[in-house]
Structure 1
């Protein structure tokens, strides 16, 4: 299952609403995408679920991820929020349920919300569980609570300008898959001279080079797009091979540029 997720990119749906998200998911599934990522906070679970239901692709063939938002982490609210997500998605279960962000200022103890996460898994509401935006210290704490092998993934920001190596290496050492969101740095990769030079030499786009670089690091990618040719290009990037020299050139681009860091974010690891 892990290898299948790693083989092709998933579709991220952040900022895609209503008909736009429905069309993006519909197009992605038609092109061969089988991993769809949504969240309570995205306010598009209903549109995503309808697109999957409307598609000729069987539900069993689609790996669906959603995430519990920070205001739903308490014992009283957690499971009801998951049940509402499933109702919006029109599904009996999701394939992966994530904690979207660790509780701000630890106002809900991690033991509480991870306990609820495991409970909904045991109840069959999700097949796998994981976290998002957890630091190395928080990963260690989570593993102490749930045990080794409990978490499928940690979804974090990764792109050529934020390598996040310390955290990525730590997760991979604990057999936790890393899912990299914002792999194209919200379009910044398109104007990068290094990525453009490599892309021109290979006859591909700089976005495809960036995605191939993420994949070569053993990281799952979930780029977001609404355009068919971009969705096709993202899929084709999984077959793009980069040389060691090209990987090294991209490695020089790291600036520690973090694009997703809200006021309630944890204290990030420094590479």
Structure 2
């Protein structure tokens, strides 16, 4: 049986097609592809696909996309429509929830938090061996806790989400607000000769520390795993969180947690 796995983020869509004897990797630009249409085109190219697993950067409840702050959602009941039209099985889950399950397996841990920083700021929690969902599958949405007001809005509609400070989309919004050119490169901002750019980087680091400290305080994990594209490109962030977590979390919880960078490539897949 051929299986298709998809990691759908705000910037890129990564796919792994598991055929009978090989794995085919492909990458797409998220804004160039409507997910339902992309699935349809892949099913036409590979008619042997009988299962699709989707790790999605959004809020998922019972297979339905509730909302996705960094993705334009056109079809919310993607699972149901795809299964009905093509007669195949489809499973969809929040991307960082998928990642934390992989991290729990990799670290052999039943109490672990995955904090991923990419286009958005996401978190997944395994506590006492179980994935934490919440009543409406909205648990651990760390990117959207109130932090500090900004002169612009998050994709969720608020203007004070911590994601507006500690994420790729947040960095871009700050650069646009200050009329700064170029892509939101954290390392470039951190080492810039412009004070305003260094300030953006410093606010990013403090917001990330606040997010990490909040998760450590709330869930008392054995391990805090940092991942995502921005952490991968800026591994110094792991060192900062390791060294300063004590000041941002309940001291006893911070004392016992191990902060690490993910060892997995494309953990949501």
Common topology (TM > 0.5):
no
- Higher strand share goes to which structure? 2
- Higher helix share goes to which structure? 1
- Aligning the two structures, in what range does the TM-score lie when normalised by the shorter sequence? under 0.3
TM normalised by structure 1 equals 0.28
TM normalised by structure 2 equals 0.28
Q: If you compute each CA radius of gyration, which structure gives the higher value, 1 or 2?
A: 2
